[in-house]
Structure 1
Amino acid sequence: MNLLAANLDMLIALSAAVAVVAAVLVVAWPYFVRDHLTERMVQVTNENERIRVRERNRLNAQSKQISLRTEPKRLYKLIVDRLNLAGTENGETVKMLRMAGYRGEGPITAYLAIRQLAPVGMLVLAALYVFVILRLDYPFFVKLSIVMAAAGLGYYAPAIYLKNKISKRQFSIRRSWPDALDLLLICVESGMGIEGALRKVSGEIGSQSVELAEEFALATAELSYLQDRRKAYENLADRTGLDGVKGVVTSLIQSEKYGTALSQSLRVQAQENRDMRMNEAEKKAAALPPKLTVPMIIFFLPVLFAVIITPAVIQVMKV
Structure 2
Amino acid sequence: MIIVVFFLLVSAMIAYGITYYLEQKAKQHRIKIFLDGKRQINFNFFHEVLGGFGKGQQREIRDKFEDAGIYNRELLRYYTPIKLGLLALSIIAILFFVHETKEMMLSFMAAIVTVIVIPDMYLAWRKKKLIEKNSRQLPYMIDMMSVCVQTGMTLEAAFRYLGDELKSFDKDLCYQIRKTSDAAEVKGMEAALVDLTKRVPTPQVRSFALTLTQNIQYGTSVAPVLSDLAEDFRNEQILVMEEKIGKLAAKMSAPLILFIMFPIVILILAPGVTRMMSGN
Q: TM-score, normalised by structure 2?
A: 0.63
**Residue identity (%):** 19
Q: Distance in 1 between matches of 2:167 and 2:220?
A: 26
Structure 1 match to 2:67:
99
The yes-or-no answer on 1:120 pairing with 2:102 is no
- 1:177 maps to 2:138: yes
Distance of 1:245 and 1:190 partners within structure 2: 23
Task: Report the count of equivalent residues.
Answer: 234
Q: Give the drift of 1:168.
A: 2.0
Q: Does 1:260 align with 2:220?
A: yes
Residue of structure 2 in register with 1:66 after alignment: none
- Cα deviation for residue 158 of structure 1 reads 1.9
**Shift of residue 306, structure 1, vs aligned partner:** 3.5
The one of 290, 295, 299 equivalent to 2:259 is: 299
- 1:149 pairs with 109, 126, 140, which one? 109
What residue in structure 2 maps to residue 78 of structure 1?
49
- Give the whole-Å Cα distance in 2 for the aligned partners of 1:289 and 1:167: 26
Name the counterpart of 2:56. Answer: 87
Partner of 1:164: 125
Q: Does 1:243 align with 2:203?
A: yes
Q: CA deviation at 1:302?
A: 3.0
Q: CA deviation at 1:111?
A: 3.4
Amino acid at match of 1:187: C
**Contact 1:184-1:197 at 8 Å conserved across structures:** yes
SS of 1:173's partner is helix
Q: 1:88 to 1:301 in 2, by over 3 A?
A: same
Q: Deviations over 1:163-221 (max 9, x none)?
A: 111022112212222232233223323434435544358646844x4422343344455
State how far apart, in whole Å, the 2-side matches of 1:312 and 1:300 are: 20
C-alpha spacing 1:247/1:119, structure 2 compared with 1 (3 Å): farther
Cα shift at 1:280: 3.2
| Corresponding position: 1:109 with 2:77 | yes
CA distance in structure 2 between the aligned counterparts of 1:299 and 1:121, rounded to whole angstroms: 45
**Would the aligned equivalents of 2:163 and 2:181 in 1 still touch at CA under 8 Å?**
no
How has the CA–CA distance of structure 1 residues 253 and 114 changed in structure 2, closer, same or farther, with 3 Å as cutoff? farther
Write the distance in 1 (CA, Å) between the matches of 2:172 and 2:78.
21
